[in-house]
Amino acid sequence: MHTTTAHVYPIDNIDTDRIIPGKYTKTLDMSALASHVLEDLDPDFAKKVQTGDILVAGNNFGCGSSREQAPIAIKAAGISVVVAKTFARIFYRNAINIGLPVIEVEKHNIQSGDSISIDLENGVVTNHTRNETYQATRMPQQMIDILNAGGLVNYLIQHGDYV
Amino acid sequence: MKQTISEKIISKHTGKPVKAGDIAIVHVDGVMATDATSPFAIKAFREMGGKKLWDSKKVSLIIDHASPAPNETVANLHKLMRDFSAEMGCRLYDIGEGICHQLMVEDAHVKPGDLFLGADSHTPTYGALNAFAIGVGSTDLAATMLTGKTWLKVPKSIKLTINGELRKGVTAKDLILFLLKELGVEGANYQAVEFTGETIQHMTLASRMVIANMSSEMGAKTGLVDPTGLELWYPFEPTFADKDAEYIRELSFDVSALRPQIAKPHSPENVVAIDELKGTKINYAFIGSCTNTRLEDLHAAADVLKGKQLSNGVRLIIAPASKRVFNDALKDGTIEILSSAGATFITSGCGPCVGSHLGVPGDGEVVISSTNRNFQGRMGNPKALVYLGSPAVVAASALAGEIVEPE
C-alpha cells in the first residue's frame, strides 16, 4: 500500500478562515488557492507538503463558512486525505463532494513526519513509523458512493440523479 | 410518530415519515448562492453536464460578498454570474441590492415550511421563518440546481427553552452570544436547534433572524425558531414540534437578568458579560452582516448616537442589510442621525464581516462589530482583534472610544 507523510496540527476548531482566508477566495484559480492554504496557522505549510501527504487535525476541523475553496485549497496543495477527530458538517460534505477523502479517527498517536497509509474502504489507518493501526468512524453509504465516484460531479454524470 | 420541526418538514419533502438518523433524498423549494460560492457552483453545474436549471424561478444568485467589484478578477466572477443568470433565466440580485439572507426573506423566496438550500453557512437564518434551511457548498448547490433535490441525514434536535423578559438594552444578539457560550462552537454539530419559550415567542422577525443566523456558530445543521407569535405580511401555516417529540438534549434558561454579552477574539464562543471588558479601547466599530444590520438595528444605533459625535480617532462603518433597509432608514431620518454622528455608509453587502471587501482593520487594531464571527483573520487581517456585540453596544462603544454598554 502507498504510504505518505503526516502533517499534524493537533488543534481543535481550525476554521475555514484559517484554512483559506476570505480575502483569497474570490477566484477559480486552484494554484492561487493552494499557495495560501493554512498560511495564518503555518506560513510554510504549502511549501512543506509533498503530493499525496496527509493532514491531521483535532476536533471540529473546518468549522465556519460554507466555502468549498477550503477543501479545494487543501486538495490543490497536494494533500490526499484529511484525518481529524471530528469535522464540521459543511466542510465534511464539501470535501467528499470534490473528491477529497476525509476520515474521522477518534484516537490515534500520529506525529508530524510519521509514515501513514490509509484504507478508506475499511476505515483503517496504519502508522508504519509506530507500528500501530487506528479505526475510523464509518461514513454514511451515500458518502461512500459519492467518494467512490470521485466526487459529486462524477456521481451525477454516472447516475443522472440522486439514487 | 411524534416529530420535531425538522422531522416534520423533511417528511413533507421526501414523501414519507422520517426520524432522526434516517438518510433522505428530498425535494428542495429553493436555492441561492453568492459571489463567494456561485462561481464554483456554475463551474460544477457545467461539469455535471447541466444545460438548464431544474426550475429557474427557484434559483437566486446574489452579488454581496465583494460588491461592487474591487478588482478585475472579482469583476469577471460577477460577469460570469450575470451571464449565467441571463442564459438560464434565474434571478440575479446585482450590487447594492443587499445581503443574500435579507433578500431571500424580504422578497419571500423562502417561506414557512420550506426546505431551502443556500451556498452560505448562515442559511439557517430562515429558521426564523419556520423553514428548514441548511448551508451547503458550491458542488452540493450545483447538484440541486440540476436535479431539484439533495440528500441529507435527518438531524437529531436540541431544544432550548428561553424564558424571562430581556432587560432594556439587552437584545437577541446578547441572548444568542450567551447561548453560544453555553453550547460552544461544536455544541450542536450535525444537529438542529429548536428555540422556544416566551422570550423567543415575543421577538420580532428581525430578532428571530439573529437567533437562527448564529445557530450556525454552534455547528448546527439548522436553527428553528418556534413560530408562535411570528408575524409575516403574507398568510402561512406554521409547523410546530409535537409535544412529545424526541430531543437529544433539552436546556432551559431564565434570561431576565442577562447582561449585554461580548465575544472576545478569536472565537464566537469566547463570550463574557460586557462588565469584564469595560474600558477596552477600540479603533473601529462596524455595524453590518446578515446577523445585525436590519432596520431595528439601525434604530438601536441611532438611539445611542442621536445628536452626538463619534469618539476622536474611532471610525464607524455601516453596511445596511439591504437597499430596502437603507431606503426605509433614509425615509424615517435614521440615516441622517447616524451620518451626522460621523458614521460612514458603504454598499449593502457582506464585505467587512468576511474580510473580502473594504473596512479591513490594521495590525493590532481593536474592532467592535455586530457581525457573527471573529475567527483570526476573519475581517481580513490576522493581527487585528475583533469583539462581537449588539448594534447598540457597537454604537455606544463608538461614542465612548471603548467597550461600554448603551446608557
Closest CA to B137 of A7, A16, A12, A84: A16
| Cβ–Cβ < 8 Å for B384, B253 | no
Alpha carbons within 13 A on the beta-carbon side of A147: 20
Task: Encode burial over B347-377: b for 16+ CB neighbours within 10 A, e otherwise.
Answer: bbbbbbbbbbbbbbbeeebbbbbbbbbbbbb
The verdict on A142 touching B (C-beta cutoff 8 Å) is yes
CB atoms within 10 A of CB B49: 11
Element (H, E) at B326: helix B323-331
Record: contact A22-B356, CB cut-off 8 A:
yes
Sign of the four-CA dihedral A40, A42, A48, A53: negative
For residue B94, what pLDDT is reported? 98
- CATH class belonging to A4-159: alpha beta
What cell was used for B194? 429548536
Chain A nearest CA to B16, separation (Å): 16
For residue B272, what pLDDT is reported? 98
Chain B nearest CA to A52, separation (Å): 23
pLDDT tens-digit profile of B122-162?
999 999 999 999 999 999 999 999 999 999 999 999 999 99
Structural domain ending residue among the three candidates B130, B152, B174: B152
pLDDT tens-digit profile of A144-159?
999 999 999 999 999 9
Instruction: Look at residue B84 and tell me if it is in a domain.
Output: yes
- Residues B134, B39 share a domain: yes
Domain boundaries, chain A: 4-159
CA angle A144, A149, A151 (to 5 degrees): 85
Chain A nearest CA to B368, separation (Å): 19
For residue A139, what pLDDT is reported? 84
- Residues B243, B310 share a domain: no
The verdict on A4 touching B (C-beta cutoff 8 Å) is no
Structural domain ending residue among the three candidates B152, B175, B206: B152
The verdict on A64 touching B (C-beta cutoff 8 Å) is yes
- By 3-state DSSP, what share of chain B in percent is helix, strand and coil, each rounded to 5? 35, 20, 45
Instruction: Look at residue B406 and tell me if it is in a domain.
Output: no
- Residues B386, B270 share a domain: yes
Instruction: Look at residue B196 and tell me if it is in a domain.
Output: yes
What cell was used for B28? 428542495
Chain A nearest CA to B122, separation (Å): 8
CB atoms within 10 A of CB B331: 9
Record: contact A15-B375, CB cut-off 8 A:
yes
- Residues B147, B21 share a domain: yes
- CA dist B273 → A12, B59, B115, B162, B195 (Å): 24, 41, 36, 18, 22
ipTM here: 0.94
How does DSSP classify residue B119? E
For residue B27, what pLDDT is reported? 98
CB atoms within 10 A of CB B275: 10
What size, in residues, is chain B? 407
Judged by phi (left if over 0) then psi (alpha if -120 to 50, else beta), residue B379 lies in alpha
Q: Which distant-in-sequence residues (6+ apart) come within 8 Å of A27 by Cβ?
A: A33, B73, B77
Structural domain ending residue among the three candidates B199, B224, B254: B254
- Residues B269, B239 share a domain: no
CATH at B10: 3.30.499.10
Dihedral angle over CA of B292, B296, B297, B303, nearest 10:
-170
Q: Strand (E) positions, chain A?
A: 4-9, 54-57, 81-84, 102-104, 115-119, 124-127, 132-135
Record: contact A22-B39, CB cut-off 8 A:
no
Closest CA to B300 of B207, B175, B373, B402: B207
- Residues B207, B333 share a domain: no
Instruction: Look at residue B407 and tell me if it is in a domain.
Output: no
Q: Which distant-in-sequence residues (6+ apart) come within 8 Å of B143 by Cβ?
A: A152, A156, A162, B44, B48, B149, B150
> Which residues of chain B carry a pLDDT beneath 70?
none
Residue position matching grid coordinates 415519515 = B17
**Structural domain containing residue B132:** 5-152
The verdict on A127 touching B (C-beta cutoff 8 Å) is no
| Cβ–Cβ < 8 Å for A99, A150 | yes
**Domains in chain B, number:** 3
B-chain residues near A153 (CB < 8 A):
44, 47-48, 139, 142
- Residues B361, B236 share a domain: no
- Residues B188, B75 share a domain: no
Task: Encode burial over A53-91: b for 16+ CB neighbours within 10 A, e otherwise.
Answer: bbbbbebbbbbbbbbbbbbbbbbbbbbbbbbbbbbbbbb
Ordered per-residue pLDDT tens for chain A, 163 residues: 578 999 999 999 999 999 999 999 999 999 999 999 999 999 999 999 999 999 999 999 999 999 999 999 999 999 999 999 999 999 999 999 999 999 999 999 999 999 999 988 889 999 999 999 999 998 888 899 999 999 999 999 999 999 8
- Residues B280, B177 share a domain: no
Instruction: Look at residue B405 and tell me if it is in a domain.
Output: no
B-chain residues near A61 (CB < 8 A):
none
- Residues B322, B203 share a domain: no
For residue A1, what pLDDT is reported? 55
B-chain residues near A151 (CB < 8 A):
139
- Residues B195, B93 share a domain: no
